[in-house]
Chains A and B, each alone.
Chain A
């Protein structure tokens, strides 16, 4: 189903409870009563078309927005993506890290030697931090820079240089898959760990990993399918003016 502005916010969560974390990232908390998406967005000063775009893309990975729905600014997209990075690094990852510590210490025998799982996850955390840092510090500012020039109708020399040295196409070519290690970790837990003493805890770790993976898939999709195409169009226009 396609989510529309007159849908009840509560119904969205009933339909797909993983949307809670998406909605939270917009600064919206639970307790919507019977308010519609439109009403909640207005209350929080959120661009409702952008909100719809994001929740629909999350809910249905084949969702293709209508052209006219895509005219919100790059700044909005980048803000949302950066917030998602913070959500991973400041909330989700520490939470899962703690669960894994707990799992290793209480679910298995010391002799099982599972502290390499902790090391594995720590390494993953560093990889993720590196990935998001590059986007936050290089890619996103560049995208905003391009948008500014585009609105102004002219690229300053500084940006021209940048566009020649590093364009959004380079980013997309080197954009790596941050879910790969999560996938591995899931399989290690599902297939290869000795039977745990505390089943519930193990299951919890697993379901957190599944949810995070889904969330990250969606995140990368927005980077690649929403942000990048917009920047490419603007880069093209700016280059044309040059000649």
Chain B
């Protein structure tokens, strides 16, 4: 699962930093971008693909928000979280999927954010537990360690290069190892490939 990309649009440095600190503790969270002005915000939303957007609505002065935001095709649209109190939210024109307020207590707030992140990252409890490689993945890993390219592996195993790439991504995610030589070390340690079969 690719990591979540999050945008925080909030004028207050204090609140931004607090949110960043909390969010950064989740392994599912990748990139966190902060902005404190409306212009930058609009161009960020247009150019990037955020999955979660924390927004303080008082931040938006012009009517540009709606026009910008509504133009984003729906599968790409981020989940909108308001940084706003319950009271103010009733008056707000923007529909938030969830709000976080300044007066919430610690455990309540953290629970909300955790749920939000788990939902947005497509968390499936059964799947997450198994970081074990499948037999198929082991076989692909073996070929990676032997130095074959995606195309060659595809040809040998009768699958498309595209499928090989998907498997590789899964292997990297499961193991936490990105480079070919790192994967090779893993393969040797786990006797998926013999030391004498390869040259590092």
Q: Which residues of A contact B (CB under 8 A)?
A: 62, 113, 116-117, 119-120, 123-124, 180-181, 183-185, 187-188, 191-193
Contacts and interface: CB of A to CB of B under 8 A. Distances in A.
Nearest to B131: A191
Interface in B147-195: 175-179, 181-182, 184-186, 188-190, 195
B40 interface: no
Given A62-B34, A192-B190, A187 B176 contact: yes
9 closest A-B pairs by beta carbon, nearest first, are: A184-B182, A187-B176, A119-B200, A184-B177, A181-B179, A184-B179, A120-B185, A120-B181, A180-B178
Nearest to A62: B34
Contact of A188 (B34, B177, B195, B200): B177
B189 A120 contact: no
Q: How big is chain B's contact interface, by range?
A: 10 to 19
A116 B194 CA distance: 11
Given A113-B188, A117-B185, A191 B195 contact: no
A124 B185 CA distance: 13
Contacts of B175: 187, 191
Contacts of B186: 188, 192
Interface in B90-126: none
Interface string B71-95: 0000000000000000000000000
A116 B190 CA distance: 13
Given A188-B177, A188-B186, A192-B189, A113 B195 contact: yes
